[in-house]
Amino acid sequence: MVDFPLLTAILLTPIWGILVLSFMPREADKTIKMISAVTMAIALGLTLYAYWAYDVSLGGLQYIENVPWITELGVSYALGVDGISLPLLLLTMLVGFSTVFVSWNVDKRSKEFFIQLLLLVVGAIGTFVSQDLFIFLLFYELGIIPSYIMVVVWGSSERVSKEYAAMKLTIYLLLGSAFMLAGVIALYVNAFPAGMRTFSMQVLAQAHTMGNLSEDVQVFTFFLLLLGFGSTLSMWPFYSWAPDGYAAAPTGVSMLHAGVLKKIGGYGLIRIGLLILPLGVKFWAPFIAFFAVVNVLYAAFVTIAQKDLKYIVGYSSISHMGYILIGFAALNVISIDGAIANMFAHGIMSALFFAMIGLVYDKTNTRQVLSLGGLAHQMPRVATGFMLAGMSSLGLPGLAGFIPEFTTFVGAFKVYPLYTLLAISGIVFTALYILRVLANVLFGPRREEFDTCRDASGVELVSLVLLGTVLVVVGVFPQLLMGMVNSGMEPVMALLVKLHVTPTLLGGVFQ
Amino acid sequence: MNIALLTSEIAVVILALLIIVFDLLMPRQEARRSLGYLAVCGLLGILVYTFNQHGASATVYHGFFVVDKFALFFKQLFIVATILTLLFSFDYIEGLTHNTGEFYALLLLSLVGMMVMASANDLLTVFVGLELMTIIFYILVGFDLRSSKSSEAGTKYLILGSAASAVLLYGMSWVYGFTGSIVLSQIAAHLTASPAMLLGLGLMLAGFCFKLSIVPFHMWAPDVYEGAPIPVTAMLAMASKAAGVAVLLRVFLVAFAGLQAYWLTIVSLLAGLSMIVGIIVAIWQTNIKRMLAYSSVAQAGYILSGLLAADAAGVKGMLFYSVLYMVANVGAFAVTTAVNNQYGSDKIDDLSGLSQKSPLLAVVMTVSLLSMAGLPPMAGFVGKMYIFMAITDKGYFWIAMLGLVMSMVSVYYYMLVVKVMYSKEAKNQQEFTASVSLRIVALISLIATLFIGIYPGPLAELANAAARSLW
């Protein structure tokens, strides 16, 4: 098989699914779901093959495709994955595949639902596989409008109305992306003189070494990118869309947003920020580290006060983004390794969490911690899923969450000792709220009113088994993930050595 | 003298006259649909013919009238816009009036005005083209005799439009007085930065901005857009605006390029203001045509901002944007027409449940609106990138930034429409009908918007060639 366009195939499979779905009659409910499942299964299979066949010892970009697209702008349809994007691509497919089954009992207007669900997945795939900034942008916002519609039509209004939550999500993400787009334009115009301009990420990454991007330009441009990617990643203070949005969204959308789409922010910070604008990153890193600590601690405190399960996971995921941010801000190979691996681990974990919450809500019609209790008696399987996700969330060794967090802290401690200590203390609070939730919801005396609730069965088990297995496998064999991530860090390493990030006592803010 | 250069204009005039004659000859009670088909087929033929003129770059009437790639680009845009507008509005026009023949003929004559504007190479021809177009629009706006809103809109447009024309003409007279010529290239040769000259320049800019509905000369747009029959609103929004862009570009870049230092700042302020006012005010609109009117004010701001680059890249962006704006508007107005045919009004609320009754039209509306908002992968995104990259190159990054932020704010009110279509239940269970030609036009708009957004290369090359022919 010479040069089979593997990434294009992965990208086109769900698109093909969308096309088929749009010509299906509206009533063919089961067929629609089957088609979605089949397309996602094919794409997942291809991605697993790509992950397996990726030559870790060789590293760098593989499965490269490059077709000139808009020559006068320097845009090419360039795809390729490396150790940074491949885990995230796999994450997308794993979560995407699960969401189809989580949404199996969506009966109202299922055709529209699944078309838009696949659109969300296509957007995420596109951002992770593209090696051209322009193509990246085409996919970057693809998911936002379908998210809006899905929240408004299939969502639920609990604490805030779903219309409000959907609009908040849309506006936050779009305003962020407006700044990001401005940053991209500034980057594009400044990187090379007219006539030689390009959107290719590989070539743009060389603009810095050629001395085309002065430090001022980099600092300014990265600031704009940070506003965009920061709001995608729900960095403090741009986080408030996330909990409301997740809470109002249907389960599948919450899973994709918290598990996958959020990670595009972190990915963009590394791929576009660090690799193209290293001096800008260096300037802003101390600030990001500070925000990261705020993310971890503030969101953890807020989580403790929450009573709605979805809000708990929503705020908790903001808190976890702090770990990713501090790993990024520490700017060394170990900490960034940890940050990328953490994106994968957190994605799987939060998706599993939301899937389980969806199941509980379906069966008991409530998400309030206080009105639930003793569910392990009636639903042992759901309880297992909850336990896996919860334990991974608080970083129990043996599950996926541990190694990435540990690596992050090891790397970050050298650079920001105080911040890292504060961030580590966040784990204590995480343990506090996670354990309390698990205890309140799953354990305790059997409650009569839930005796009629069936345990998860049939298709409901798909997400539990799939995501739960990944959590355990990656936890027990972390090398599967870390080896891949590490191979992606090769080019970053050379860059970081040149940056000379010197550790400072208070983390650089008070220099 | 090469009169052949005028063939396409002459052909449109003949077509309009033919329609009037046939209209008179046909029995009174017979349906006039055939006249509409005649207009469409005739325009298609003329469109094909215009491709024959490609590569020409010649003037006629002592340099008053020029045919180059720039002019052809706009003429083809106007013709396509007219064809698509006619195609989606047959049912609507027949419901509007018995004098459909007149309506078609007038629409074609306004098209002639636009085509003359695209080719105008001197101030007088500019003015003649502009008046030909505008005077016919005064009639068309007030064409719905049963509706007082339509008559009111027609009167308003007449009064304000005449005032604007007077201002424009006054500005032209100053420019003529101080350069001694009305031919654009001659004016460029005799430019001086005297205050009188700048006064003339400013007055002309104000006149053009009125046609483009640029803030603060936009006050007419919402009322006129709301009152006018939908096809007329559509033509006003896309074709008449594009014609304004065509003359603005030629006059400012050919004749007044030397005074750039004076007008660039003003243009940047006008463009910025239009984006802000158009988008903020649109949020509170409940009538779809009014909302599109304010949105068109903002869109005009985006297009105008391309002038800040004052080079081929900026012009290319403006031409590109004019096309995609036309395509998006065709989609939005086609859906508005279908809804109006069904319920007889233009409230945003009337779109309730459209996604259930006609999924295609709901998708077309969504994609068209999001293209205007500039969301990838729709065409509007690429258009904004072209314009903003060109002006960032010239140091107007703040406008680019403002434009991007405002366009994301505009998603707010576009989303309100999307919400109504997707989440509200339909008002009644009545079957939703839309004619085949309307559906086809909607589908064309959808495909074109996505195609241009994903593969902008071919259109960008055309726009680029057209833009370069100005220099």
Residue A136 CA: distances (Å) to CA of A48, A240, B377 = 22, 25, 10
As a whole number of Å, the CA-based R_g of chain A is 22
> Cα distance from B20 to chain A (closest Cα, Å)?
44
Count CA atoms within 13 Å of residue A405 on its CB side.
28
pLDDT single digits (tens) B306-347: 999 989 999 999 999 999 999 999 999 999 999 998 888 888
Confirm if B96 and B345 have CB atoms less than 8 A apart: no
Give the number of other CB atoms < 10 A from CB of residue B166. 12
DSSP helix/strand/coil, A80: strand
Residue type, A338: G
Q: How far is B454 from chain A (nearest CA, A)?
A: 8
B411 with A170: Cβ contact below 8 A: yes
Distances (CA, A) of A155 to A173, A196, A239, A310, A369: 18, 47, 20, 13, 20
> In Å, how far is A435's CA from the nearest CA of chain B?
38
* pLDDT (0 to 100) of residue A141: 86
Could you give phi then psi for residue B58, rounded to 5 degrees? -145, 160
Count the alpha carbons within 13 Å of B415 in the hemisphere toward its beta carbon. Answer: 26
Q: Which residues of A touch B457 (CB under 8 A)?
A: 69-72
Residue with tokens 């008002």: B427
**Can you tell me which residue has the tokens 């639930």?**
A372
Q: How far is B401 from chain A (nearest CA, A)?
A: 6
Reading phi first (left if > 0) and then psi (alpha if -120 to 50, else beta), residue B65 is in: beta
CB A256 within 8 A of CB A150: no
Angle at the Cα of A471 (from A98 to A54), degrees rounded to 5? Answer: 80
Strand A75-81 with A62-70, pairing: antiparallel
From CA B426, how far away is CA B253, in angstroms rounded?
50
Report the distance separating Cα B251 and Cα A30, nearest Å: 62
Element (H, E) at A252: helix A251-256
What integer pLDDT is reported at residue A500 of this predicted model? 62
Cβ proximity of B101 and B20 under 8 Å: yes
pLDDT at A507: 44
Question: What type of residue is A84?
Answer: I
d(CA A314, CA A169): 13
Mutate to test the interface with B, among A149, A180, A225 (most CBs of B within 10 A): A149
The tokens describing A139, both together, are 């996919």
Distance of CA B156 to the CA centre of its chain: 19
Q: Quick one: how far is CA B415 from the chain centroid?
A: 24
pLDDT tens per residue across span A117-170:
999 999 999 999 999 999 999 898 888 889 999 999 888 888 888 889 999 999
Report A:28-87 residues touching B (Cβ under 8 A): 69-73
pLDDT attached to residue A509: 43
DSSP classification of residue B454: H
Series of mean pLDDT values for 10-residue runs along chain A (511 residues): 79 93 88 92 93 86 88 88 92 94 88 92 94 91 89 86 90 90 91 84 85 86 93 88 90 92 92 89 91 92 91 92 92 89 93 92 87 86 91 89 90 89 90 90 85 82 92 90 85 74 46 36
Are A142 and B376 inside 8 Å of each other by CB? yes
Cβ-based neighbours of A27, under 8 Å, separated by 6 or more: none
CB contact under 8 A, B359 and A112: yes
Chain B residues close to A152, C-beta within 8 Å: 419, 422-423
Q: Can you name the residues that pair with A70 across neighbouring β-strands?
A: A75
Nearest CA in chain A to B353: A153
Residues 274-293 of B with CB under 8 A from A: none
B54 interfaces chain A, CB cutoff of 8 Å: no
DSSP code for A448: G
- Give which of A23, A28, A127 is closest to A81, Cα–Cα: A127
CB contacts of A179 in chain B (<8 Å) are 401, 404-405
Extents of the domains making up chain B: 1-255, 261-471
Which tens digit of pLDDT belongs to each residue from A341-395?
999 999 999 999 999 999 888 888 888 888 888 888 888 898 999 999 999 998 8
Quote helix, strand, coil % in chain B, to nearest 5: 80, 0, 20
Three-class secondary structure of residue A78 per DSSP: strand
DSSP string computed for B375-433: -TTSHHHHHHHHHHHHHHHTT-HHHHHHHHHHHHHHHHHHHHHHHHHHHSPPS--PPP-
Tokens representing B98 are 């018995």
Contact A138 B377 (CB under 8 A): yes
End-to-end CA distance of chain B: give it in Å, rounded.
23
- Give the closest-approach CA distance of A103 to chain B in angstroms: 19
CB within 8 Å: A142 and B408 = no
Query: Angle at Cα B449 formed by Cα A77 and Cα B413, nearest 5°?
Result: 115
* Structure token pair of residue A151: 């929240």
Give residues 160 to 199 of A whose Cβ lies within 8 Å of B.
163, 167, 170-171, 174-175, 177-179, 181-182, 185-186, 188-189, 194
With beta carbons less than 8 A apart as the criterion, state whether B242 and B117 touch: no
What is the helix (H) or strand (E) element at residue A449, kind and residue range? none
pLDDT in tens, B372-396: 998 888 999 999 999 999 999 888 9
| Strand segments (E) across A396-444 | none
- Give, in order, the Cα–Cα distances in Å from A381 to each of A104, A254, A469, B24, B101: 18, 21, 13, 81, 73
CA dist B399 and A431 (Å) reads: 48
Question: What whole-number distance in Å separates Cα of residue A215 and Cα of residue B130?
Answer: 50
The full DSSP string for B294-354 is HHHHHHHHHHHHGGGG-SHHHHHHHHHHHHHHHHHHHHHHHHHHHHHHHHSS-BGGGGTTH
> Would you state the pLDDT for residue A511?
36
The reply to whether residue B461 touches residue A72, judged by beta carbons under 8 angstroms, is yes
The alpha-carbon gap from A140 to the nearest alpha carbon of chain B, in Å, equals 8
**Residues of B with Cβ-Cβ distance to A142 under 8 angstroms:** 376-377
CA distance B440 to A413: 63
Alpha-carbon distance of B424 to A163, in angstroms, equals: 12
**What's the CA gap between A96 and B363, in Å, rounded?**
24
pLDDT in tens, chain B (471 residues): 688 888 999 999 999 999 999 999 988 878 888 899 999 999 999 999 998 887 777 888 888 899 999 999 999 999 999 999 999 999 898 888 888 889 999 999 999 999 999 999 999 999 999 999 999 999 999 998 888 999 999 999 999 999 999 999 999 999 999 998 999 989 999 888 899 999 999 999 999 999 899 989 999 999 999 999 999 999 999 999 999 999 999 999 999 988 988 999 999 999 999 999 999 999 888 899 999 999 999 999 999 999 999 899 999 999 999 999 999 999 999 999 999 988 888 888 888 888 888 889 999 999 999 999 988 889 999 999 999 999 998 889 999 999 999 999 999 889 889 988 988 887 777 778 888 999 999 999 999 999 999 999 899 999 999 999 888
Residue A378 sits at φ, ψ, to 5 deg, of -90, -30
* Adjacent-strand bridge partners of A67: A77
Residue of B nearest to A71 (CA): B457
Residues of B in contact with A194 (CB under 8 A): 393
* Contact by Cβ (8 Å): A37, A100: yes
pTM reported for the whole predicted model = 0.92
